Amino acid sequence: MKICDLGPLVSTMNLNDPLITALHILGNTKGHYRVVVVNEEGKVHGLIIGRRLLEILLGRRGSSIRAKKGFESVLQEPVNLFMDESYQIFPENTDAETVIKYMVENALGHVILVDQAGAYKGIIEESCILNRLRGKRFGLQTRNIMSENVRIIDPKATIRYAAQTMIDNRVRRLPVTLKSTIVGIVTASDIIRHIIRQEGKTGKLGLSDVARILDEGVAKVMSQNVHSIQPDSDAGEALDKMVNLDVSGLPVVSKEGQLFGIVSRVDFIKIAKLKGVSTIVEMMA
């Protein structure tokens, strides 16, 4: 199995495209958290992720240009100035086991594939691997792979606070709880989508528009229909549920409704560590 058999071609943008294009791509494409940035020849130059965009919207990145030229100018600057370099680029003919081994060893959520000339050929993300593992059972409980240290927020919190919490804790989703009961879940993509929708309504995205949106309550953007998984269910059931519902993570909740942790797509890495990469690759074949 060659690794490029696995990977979907996620959205790309040109390095000279304005930053706002990245917001549009992530705001309008469900299930995408990263945009690969390429040059005119299609060569990979880097990538921009949802959390980075939140940082820019909150003024925690891009602050120098923002101070000199204003917020709206930041959105019109080339994405090249704000993106991250990618240090996980592999030749497209690399075999699946190698790439998965690399992702597992280094706890990475993605690897970018290029051809001989360095042109973008695809990205291997957690979701490609989960798709291949659909229906599989591992003899491991979800509690064995979940993260226990869960950041939560109150439904009365603002979108700004949610975004800040995501940035500070380097996470992309937060359960929203009321008296220990989960009433929603909010992701970086939800916030970006909400902002882009507002732009669609008014045709512009100024600093005051963003400030107003960020001061809205998080309840406005969270998903209220929260799907969860029980801690003693097989880890495979958790992966299936994420694939079938097209969500990037699930709260792990007891029968009594108590929040135990959170499981996300990237936790397939923990399964691979516990079961062995070769076993996982065989299961994917």
Partner 1 sequence: MVRIEDYTPIVGAGEVESIKEMAEHVRGAKVEHINATSFGGGVAEILNRLVPLARSVGIDAEWKTLSGDEDFFLTTKRIHNALQGDGTIEISEGMMRHYIDTNDLNASKLNDSSEVVVIHDPQPLPMIDHKTTGKWVWRCHIDTSSPNIKVWNLINGYVKKYDAAIFSLEKYVPEDLAQMRVLIDFPTIDPLSAKNASMSASEVLKILERYGIDPDRPIIGQVARFDPWKNPLGVIDTYRRVKEKIRNVQLIMIGSFANDDLEGTEWHNRTVRYAQGDKDIHILTNLEGVLDKEVNAFQRSFNVALQLSLREGFGLSVTEALWKGVPVVGTKAGGIPLQVIDGVTGYLVGSLEEAADATRQLIKRPWAARELGYAGMQLVRLNFLITKGLKSYLRMHIELVGK
Smallest separation (angstroms) from partner 1 to the CB of 185: 21
The whole-angstrom separation of Cα 282 and Cα 285 is 5
Smallest separation (angstroms) from partner 1 to the CB of 149: 10
Are 259 and 177 contacting, i.e. CB atoms less than 8 angstroms apart? Answer: yes
234: which strand partners?
A: 141
Residue number with CB closer to partner 1 (106 or 254): 106
Residue number with CB closer to partner 1 (93 or 258): 93
By CB under 8 A, name the binding residues for partner 1.
15, 39-41, 43, 45-46, 60-65, 68-69, 78, 80-91, 94, 98, 101-102, 105-107, 114, 118, 168-170
Smallest separation (angstroms) from partner 1 to the CB of 105: 5
Residue number with CB closer to partner 1 (120 or 138): 120
Burial tier of 64 (Cβ tally within 10 Å: 0-12, 13-18, 19+): exposed
Residue 142 is classified by DSSP as: G
Dihedral, CA of residue 74, residue 80, residue 84 and residue 88, to nearest 10 = 160
Smallest separation (angstroms) from partner 1 to the CB of 189: 20
Residue number with CB closer to partner 1 (50 or 184): 50
Smallest separation (angstroms) from partner 1 to the CB of 57: 15
Smallest separation (angstroms) from partner 1 to the CB of 169: 6
The total number of residues shown for the chain amounts to: 285
The whole-angstrom separation of Cα 79 and Cα 267 is 30
DSSP-based three-state secondary structure for 34: strand
Residue number with CB closer to partner 1 (85 or 215): 85
Instruction: Give the list of residues 6+ apart from residue 168 with CB closer than 8 angstroms, or none.
Output: none
Residue number with CB closer to partner 1 (63 or 258): 63
Alpha carbon distance, N-terminus to C-terminus of the chain: 7
